[in-house]
Chain A
């Protein structure tokens, strides 16, 4: 202990002797308080997997979403808050502890509606404090998807977990698991085989020893899907899972597919099941009235049989066993025990889960591909929850507008564009539709106001003329002699930085158009493996054919024209080929064999042609459709002859990579979009850091860097568009900066914006509103250590060192960003009875260079920043200088009045004290007091309140309002304002004269009285003292 004390003393005395430890170029602290902002949209929400109602508190509802984590409502479903943002965002099931629902929440991750684009889970999690903190429950690390968590209401330590398991590979982790010690230890109590998982596990509502489990044999590849097989079956256990028996009495013979199962909460003998069978007329709803001993087929309507892998949820009214709801394309409801059904009311298609309110079955909640809906009338009319920015982007892009727009396509929610900032925040109404169906890539024409968008499999590619509101379909069509074109579900498109009208698309060939898609030319051979085994999708689906086009394979997936040379084009295919041409498509070089460490046929998800060298490119690969979740990213600098992996151990093992974005200035700064969020490297990939500041580990499908703003814009598959504003500080970070105690980053000149408009926001109380990009000056600095002890302050000063404004500096270790809105301080106002709102305006500084002074303990650190006038200004420089000069004049006038009122008040105080304490001088003092009060009443408001009892404005109010109007607008001062100024100046001069007269007459007499009686004179601060105090 003594030695330690000595060491620390030495350290304290010799602060120069820093630790010899090498500074790491990674870690959360690199990013300090750089925060991501979310702009949604929630207008098109996203897919929701599961809804969980609180068993007793009707205000609380949870949802588990396909790609956006877990959300909780505390207000009966009006608004929601994300509560699972540190963990994987793909959710299978949310279950509350029936005994302790306020505290204990279980979350099984991994979406269970196994469409082509589903993400992956990452285990089982539990919160014991209502969702604030989460711990992973060991034993489910490889579960991939968890479908069910069932808790014995009499003994909540007894829990069953149904693991559906891996979608694209065999897995022995599938099956039904049980714990009897609250999750410490688990036993697998039902396992059928490596391709058959637990699709549903439910418990008898009255007898917790009775369980039902539906087991499903299923498999997906990149080019096919198969549902069903001899192992699919419905099981029942009556001994708490010790033994299981098939309950198929009445079911058709042959293979079964996905089986839905539900028990009526009000009658445990009644079971409903939905089957996928080999006999089409036996598909659909089955019912048992003897707890599964026998089954009767009731209904095979379309609504009950459609796409079993996607819709397999049955919900029975908690009070009435005859009211049955089934998820589906539209959702179906029966009120006669399942004999007949009608569609649920209009809402977004694809209903995955439905719940009833615990007390009132008229109130229902519905989880769809487009968000959460509520019904108040038993399912006839639905309204959307407007607060869930769960949008699932496949792709995004940006333009050069100010503020720039973000374009992108969504799973089952069309194509859209919206602004990155908007008055009052990015609202639902700011988004514009530019495509139907599933949306994917949306690209802005580089120079014209034209947008390209597409729907699945390039069934339609649209060219939308925004100004004229005209749409054309322009997808490449086969001409005589062409092979049948194979487009990916998410077909690649690209525009050129060299020729604005050029437009590329990829099937198995590269198609090029020089006239915005009017005419097409094929400029490549088939660049894929053209493997016929992967090309027959007509039989895909298994028991229920499901040929939606989603499994089209052996197609081109990414096209990148080099920004340095239009003849260099890179192509990546979904079956693992990387091809490059250096002569505009005359010759293609298949460089797939040169790739290092990439398993054969691994999907090439994105190629980024570099700005830093013609032969330089990045390629990312992902093998999740073969069960390979590993991250892969390679870099070449020699046109693909050699490749180097840029993945490090820092990246989570199952964070497969979908995108990479290079910085346009610093070649070593890269952004990696993975299934588990964003990673950033500042040293070319040797070290990676997970970016987690307001950024959940959501699947990042596409990243763009907006050139004018240096913003990183991410299209996520579950949390909409997420932006990190101005990453330029990261560009400058290096080992030597990390060694400094304080380092200011260089910034470009900041523009003081002049635009102003309106942002009425009535009716948006429960809507999601995205944050705006700050328009203020962003002062960025690096702190080596978090500042905790001693003073640390920041000031803006003019170049002579006069204080302009004081700011609140961030104290974080890492990068800190402080915003300054270009203003100095507000004027000191005269005291009145009410507030003069004009006095809350702070004048803006003139353009120029300003000092930023950071005081940290005894040390001072300085930098300068430049601020400039808005280039879009409507004002001439001369007019602006006049506006600044008049602002200053009025500012001074306002403060002069404040001082006058103060001084007058001090005289009044003295007069009052004489009136009270010295009868001899009462008359004299009263006269002075009265005259001063008469004057004061004309200077400031002395009656009324700040609302409807407000008094007429006096000189202070009128002066401050004029000051505020002139200071707050950045245009020419109007003639009317100048006339008003003249009037107010005259009034003020008049008032000063009156004051002077009072002081000279009654004031003088009063002073003499004080002198004569040896009374203390009023102590009046100087104007300077008065103005500098608080």
Chain B
């Protein structure tokens, strides 16, 4: 029944949004309007996403925490062990080495790239994007997952990868019917997949205290199934910091 209500609300939201969008700004405005309103998004201090990654028989529990000031933490649970897979306290990005189970700092480039955008990307890179130095371009319409979308190009400040500056571009595909993004595409910048396009997908949008979030995300071929999203979760400063 709750889902039925969600769907109903979704349809209502569609109804209040303008049916045509001419510019990227209008699309973004519709997106914020349809998913809870820009003010509500602006008031968000932090978010905790609890879910699991399903990899054929294995459901690995994952917690993701992000805060307004750019802190991030990804915790996974393997055989009863909490492992901080990735953490960033605003200054230092670090991971846990799976061989030694010890924390290790990420390389300087990656750290710098994270520092550059972590804060700006909360709650969404589109939120006040111009103030952040980001730019948008409406690329036209494209069919993704069989459905018509607006393709919007988001350009952030360039990143450094392997000693060279590279552009930092992500394409977002907003379903024309409801203006929520259902997919993103970006170019892989390093490793064996370098140069290839990585597509992520989003679906199962549901309401959490007035805001809408995707509860199913396909991230590089794996699905993150969200069980619960907590807005403004309790955090302690220590949880993000590199253990000295």
- Which residues of A pack against B, CB within 8 Å? 4-5, 8-9, 11-12, 28-29, 32-33, 57, 59, 72-75, 79-81, 102, 129-130, 132-133, 765, 783, 785-793, 805-808, 810-814, 821, 823-826, 829-836, 839-840, 842, 857-858, 898, 902, 945-947, 949, 1030
Cβ-defined contact, A858 with B58, below 8 A: no
Interface digits, B34-64 against A, CB 8 Å rule (1 contact, 0 not)? 0000000000000000001010111101000
For chain B, residues 9 to 42, give those with C-beta under 8 angstroms from any C-beta of chain A: 10-12, 14-16, 19
B139 CB–A CB distance under 8 Å: yes
Known contacts A11-B11, A789-B7, A791-B215, then 5 further A-B pairs from the complex at CB < 8 Å, ordered by chain A residue = A8-B12, A823-B56, A831-B81, A858-B3, A946-B98
B215: nearest chain-A partner, CB-CB = A791
Cβ-defined contact, A945 with B101, below 8 A: yes
B100: nearest chain-A partner, CB-CB = A945
A888 shortest CB reach to chain B, Å: 15
Can you report 27 A-B residue pairs in the complex whose CB atoms are below 8 A from each other?
A: A8-B15, A9-B15, A12-B11, A28-B146, A32-B145, A73-B195, A79-B192, A79-B194, A132-B171, A765-B192, A785-B147, A786-B182, A788-B10, A788-B178, A788-B204, A790-B6, A790-B204, A793-B225, A807-B54, A811-B182, A811-B204, A811-B216, A825-B57, A829-B79, A839-B79, A857-B3, A946-B98
Cβ-defined contact, B79 with A830, below 8 A: yes
Cβ-defined contact, B54 with A791, below 8 A: no
- Residues of chain A lying within 8 A (CB to CB) of residue B167: 102, 129-130
Cβ-defined contact, A792 with B11, below 8 A: no
- Residues of chain A lying within 8 A (CB to CB) of residue B11: 8, 11-12
- Residues of chain A lying within 8 A (CB to CB) of residue B171: 132
Given A8-B14, A823-B57, check contact A808 B81 (CB 8 Å): no
Given A132-B169, A946-B98, A1030-B59, check contact A5 B178 (CB 8 Å): no
B80 CB–A CB distance under 8 Å: yes
* 3 residue pairs, one from A and one from B, having the closest CB atoms: A831-B80, A842-B57, A813-B146
B223 CB–A CB distance under 8 Å: yes
A96 shortest CB reach to chain B, Å: 15
Cβ-defined contact, B147 with A835, below 8 A: no
- CA distance in complex: A1030, B60 (Å): 8
Interface digits, B118-143 against A, CB 8 Å rule (1 contact, 0 not)? 00000000000000000000010001
**Which of B12, B57, B147, B206 meets A791, CB within 8 Å?**
B206
Given A130-B167, A787-B203, check contact A12 B54 (CB 8 Å): no
Interface size on B, residues (CB 8 A): 60
B239 shortest CB reach to chain A, Å: 19
- The A interface is mostly helix, strand or loop, or mixed, namely loop
- Residues of chain A lying within 8 A (CB to CB) of residue B218: 808
Cβ-defined contact, B203 with A945, below 8 A: no
Interface digits, B161-175 against A, CB 8 Å rule (1 contact, 0 not)? 000100101010001
For chain B, residues 93 to 117, give those with C-beta under 8 angstroms from any C-beta of chain A: 98-102
B50 shortest CB reach to chain A, Å: 9
- Residues of chain A lying within 8 A (CB to CB) of residue B66: none
**Which of A81, A786, A792, A831 meets B146, CB within 8 Å?**
A786
- Residues of chain B lying within 8 A (CB to CB) of residue A836: 79
- CA distance in complex: A117, B73 (Å): 57
- CA distance in complex: A451, B149 (Å): 49
B77 CB–A CB distance under 8 Å: yes
Cβ-defined contact, B56 with A812, below 8 A: no
- CA distance in complex: A765, B193 (Å): 11
Cβ-defined contact, B169 with A788, below 8 A: no
- CA distance in complex: A986, B14 (Å): 64
B180 CB–A CB distance under 8 Å: yes
Q: Which of B167, B178, B192, B203 has the most CB of A within 10 A?
A: B203
- Residues of chain B lying within 8 A (CB to CB) of residue A59: 164
- CA distance in complex: A1014, B80 (Å): 31
- CA distance in complex: A972, B33 (Å): 61
A956: nearest chain-B partner, CB-CB = B79
- Residues of chain B lying within 8 A (CB to CB) of residue A806: 54, 59, 225
Cβ-defined contact, B216 with A949, below 8 A: no
Cβ-defined contact, A788 with B180, below 8 A: yes
- Residues of chain B lying within 8 A (CB to CB) of residue A812: 145-147
A730 shortest CB reach to chain B, Å: 14
B133 shortest CB reach to chain A, Å: 18
- Residues of chain A lying within 8 A (CB to CB) of residue B194: 74-75, 79, 81
- CA distance in complex: A382, B7 (Å): 62
Cβ-defined contact, A814 with B216, below 8 A: no
Cβ-defined contact, A790 with B145, below 8 A: no
- Residues of chain A lying within 8 A (CB to CB) of residue B81: 831-833, 835
Cβ-defined contact, A808 with B203, below 8 A: no
Interface digits, B64-86 against A, CB 8 Å rule (1 contact, 0 not)? 00000000000001111100000
- Residues of chain B lying within 8 A (CB to CB) of residue A787: 203-204
- CA distance in complex: A933, B204 (Å): 45
- Residues of chain B lying within 8 A (CB to CB) of residue A57: 164
- Residues of chain B lying within 8 A (CB to CB) of residue A902: 80
B79: nearest chain-A partner, CB-CB = A829
- CA distance in complex: A857, B4 (Å): 6
- CA distance in complex: A403, B52 (Å): 34
Given A8-B11, A839-B79, check contact A1030 B56 (CB 8 Å): no
- Residues of chain B lying within 8 A (CB to CB) of residue A949: 100
A260 shortest CB reach to chain B, Å: 32
Cβ-defined contact, A133 with B139, below 8 A: yes
- Residues of chain A lying within 8 A (CB to CB) of residue B206: 789-791
Cβ-defined contact, A789 with B147, below 8 A: no
- Residues of chain A lying within 8 A (CB to CB) of residue B153: 129
Cβ-defined contact, B7 with A81, below 8 A: no
- CA distance in complex: A80, B196 (Å): 9
Given A842-B57, A858-B1, check contact A829 B80 (CB 8 Å): yes
- Residues of chain B lying within 8 A (CB to CB) of residue A790: 3, 6-7, 10, 204-206
B157 CB–A CB distance under 8 Å: no
A819: nearest chain-B partner, CB-CB = B56
- CA distance in complex: A906, B114 (Å): 39
